[in-house]
Amino acid sequence: MSEPILELRNLSVSVTGQPEIQILKGIDLAIRPGEIHALMGPNGSGKSTLASAIAGNPAYTIDGGRVIFKGADITELKPDARARLGLFLSFQYPTAIPGVTMVNLMRASLKARRGQDVPPREFLQELRATLKALKMDESFARRYVNDGFSGGEKKRAEILQLGMLKPEMAILDETDSGLDVDALRTVAEGVNALRTPEIGILIITHYQRILNYITPDVVHVLVGGRIARSGGPELALQIEEHGYDPILKELGIGSEVVA
C-alpha cells in the first residue's frame, strides 16, 4: 500500500484570536494517491474549516496536531507555499476578478507552481488539451475570472484550473453547492476526467447527490469537530435515506448542537 499523499494527525483547530472557539477536535485522516474521500456532515460540523486549515488559511489557528503532505510537515507553511507544493483548494464561493482573464491567471499560476515561466506554445498546447478533455470551448478561457459567471461556470472554472495545475492533492469544498442537476453532472464529469492514480481528492459535501456521479473510496462523517464515522460509498447512501439523526442519536448529540 502506498504512503498517504495527505495525512492529518490529531488535528485541532480554532478561530484565530479566539482560542475558546475550537472547531476541530483531533482529526485523523489519511488519503493515498488515487483515492477519493468524501467528507460529509451537518451544518456547523467543521467541514469547510477543515479545508481551510489544510490550505493554511490564517483565519484559523492549528492548536495541536500536524498536517503532513507528501511526507513533509507543512503545518507551519503559508498558503502559497502549500499551493506550490501541489495542494489545490476549490472554493465554495469563488471570487470574481474583473480584468484578469482565465488564461492569464492560469499561466501565472503555472509559473508559480513550476518555479519557471511556461513557454507560450507549450502553455497553449496544455490549455487546449485540458479544455478538450473537459469538453469546454476555448472561448471560456478568454473570459475574465468568474466575472458574470453562473454558479455552474464558476465551478467549471475551478475544475479547469485543477486540470491545468495538476496538483497531487485536490480539496473540493462543496463544489456541488448551488448547482442544478445538469451543472452538477458537468462538473462531476470534469473531476472524473482528471482523476489519475497520482492524485488524491477530498470532496466536501452536505449531500450524497454529487456522489451519484463521483464514486468515493471512503466516506467520512464529521460531527462536532470529530470524525464520527468512516465507511464505503454505502455510508453516503444511508445518510441520504435517513439523514444524520441516527448518527447524532447514537453519539448522544442533539441536532440543535450542530445546526
pLDDT in tens, 161-173: 999 999 999 999 9
Residue 209 has pLDDT above 80, yes or no: yes
Per-residue pLDDT at 256 exceeds 50: no
Is the predicted pLDDT of residue 159 greater than 90, yes or no?
yes
Q: Dump pLDDT digits (tens) for 65-80.
A: 999 999 999 999 999 9
pTM for the full model?
Answer: 0.92
Report CA 138 to chain centroid distance, whole Å. 25
CATH label, 6-95+168-258, candidates 3.40.50.300, 3.40.50.10260, 3.90.1640.20, 3.40.1190.10: 3.40.50.300
pLDDT for residue 259: 39
Angle between helices 151-165 and 120-133 (to 10 degrees): 130
What count of Cα atoms within 13 Å lies in the side-chain half-sphere of residue 39? 27
Is pLDDT larger for residue 255 or for residue 192?
192
**172-190 mean pLDDT:** 86
C-alpha cell at 158: 475551478
Please give the average per-residue pLDDT across 125-133, as a whole number. 94
Q: Where are the domains of the chain?
A: 6-95+168-258
Q: Report the pLDDT value the prediction gives residue 255, as an integer from 0 to 100.
A: 52
Rounded Cα distance, 203 and 93, in Å = 15
